[in-house]
Amino acid sequence: MVLAEREAEYPPGGHVQDRGQVELALPGLDLGAIAVPFLVDLLRGEVPLDSAIVSIGVVKNEHIGQAFGAIRKAGTVVVVGVSNEREGAPVPGFNAITVAMFQKRIQGSLYGMGSPRDAMPNLLNLYAAGRLNLDALITRRYALDDVNQAYADRRSGVNIRGAVDFIPAG
């Protein structure tokens, strides 16, 4: 199940057996005695979710399958992360029976389901006013001469939040 922010925090095998594994899967969470049994059941997959959002850095179909398996009948998986464009593995658990009989949905979301034509000017105005910190999201900058490397890194999944500087630094 995709609940932790980083895959490395999942317990071995993706199954939670005790409080210690809950603390590893959800670090920093205040685990009161009442919440622990529910969280253990949730992380074991025994509590079906209304929806699951897959927003990790590089999404693989296995992550979508984990979320798909965690949702209830008529539940929705929303994929907001991106993947390597060559990801060709099937989505585990996704087939005609689960879609038709359980009415489950997988849906993508780009720009928060808004219109880029409307949203971009507003976002650029927020950035220019210093109210939207986009620079913190950039993991690597490329010079314009390195644009081919930027695309190669994106395709291979090495870097998904790179930026090409069209104006030389200085």
Question: Domain boundaries in the chain?
Answer: 7-111, 113-165
Over residues 11-35, mean pLDDT: 49
User: In the predicted model, what is the mean pLDDT of residues 106-125?
Assistant: 85
> Does the pLDDT of residue 164 top 50, yes or no?
yes
Q: What is the pLDDT of residue 169?
A: 65
Query: Mean pLDDT across the stretch 125-140?
Result: 91
Whole-number pLDDT of residue 28: 55
CA quadruple 152, 158, 159, 164: dihedral positive or negative?
negative
Average pLDDT over residues 81-109: 86
Q: Give the whole-angstrom CA distance, residue 96 versus residue 114.
A: 29
Please, which pLDDT band fits residue 99 given cuts at 50, 70 and 90? confident
Q: Please indicate whether residue 21 or residue 130 has the higher confidence score (pLDDT).
A: 130
Element (H, E) at 25: helix 19-25
pLDDT averaged over every residue in the chain:
77
Backbone angles phi, psi at 162, to 5 degrees: -85, 160
Long-range contacts of 40-47 (CB under 8 A, 24+ apart): 40/16, 42/1, 42/3, 43/1, 43/3, 43/11, 43/15, 43/16, 44/15, 44/16, 45/1, 45/15, 45/69, 45/70
Give residue 11's pLDDT.
42
- Residue 36: pLDDT band (50, 70, 90) is low
Is the per-residue pLDDT at 152 higher than 80? yes
Domain made up of 7-111: CATH architecture: 3-Layer(aba) Sandwich (3.40)
Are 56 and 7 in contact by the 8 Å Cβ rule? The answer is yes
Q: What percent of the chain has pLDDT over 90?
A: 25
Sign of the CA dihedral running 63, 66, 70, 72: positive
Question: For the chain, first and last CA: distance in Å?
Answer: 46
Q: Which amino acid is at 98?
A: T
Specify the range with the lowest mean pLDDT, choosing from 31-45, 59-73, 90-104.
31-45
pLDDT higher at 156 or 103: 103
What pLDDT sits at residue 76?
Answer: 92
Task: Check pLDDT > 80 for residue 1.
Answer: no
Q: pLDDT tens-digit profile of 45-57? A: 677 888 888 888 7
